[in-house]
Amino acid sequence: MISHFACRWDHDLLDEPIRVYEEIDERRMEVRKVEEYRDGRLVRADTVNDTRTSLSWEPLPGVAEIESQAEFSVEPLTAEQFDAVWTKATDAT
């Protein structure tokens, strides 16, 4: 089963994303991903194409483990919400 979420990353690094939108499979492997930067840039990757980012080779940790780190917060997304961000990122490339 495919699931979707956004992970907000609170930090002061200028060259790192502030939010990552994830589409993952039942093994918690990334299928598609969009990274959002402070300047509004959106970069994307999927199993076929990538731009300035790539998919992880490792399964993602569970939500509880991600949120156990103070700088991260997770928001569930519907497939439609993820697709809207994906389309926006696709149009931006």
Q: List pLDDT tens digits, range 34-70.
A: 999 999 999 998 877 766 788 888 999 999 999 999 9
Best CA proximity match to 22, nearest among 50, 44, 49, 52: 44
Those residues whose C-beta lies under 8 Å from the C-beta of residue 83, and which sit 6 or more positions away, are none
User: How many domains does the chain divide into?
Assistant: 1
pLDDT at position 8 over 90: yes
pLDDT at 32: 94
E strands, the chain, where? 3-9, 19-24, 30-36, 42-46, 72-77
User: What pLDDT band is residue 92 in, cutting at 50, 70 and 90?
Assistant: low
Q: Record the pTM.
A: 0.90
pLDDT at 14: 86
Instruction: List the domain range (segments joined by +) for residue 55.
Output: 3-92
The pair of three-digit structure tokens given for residue 87, joined into one six-digit string:
């389309």
CA dist 87 → 13, 15, 66, 82, 92 (Å): 26, 23, 26, 9, 9
- Please tell me the chain's helix, strand, coil percentages from 3-state DSSP, rounded to the nearest 5: 20, 35, 45
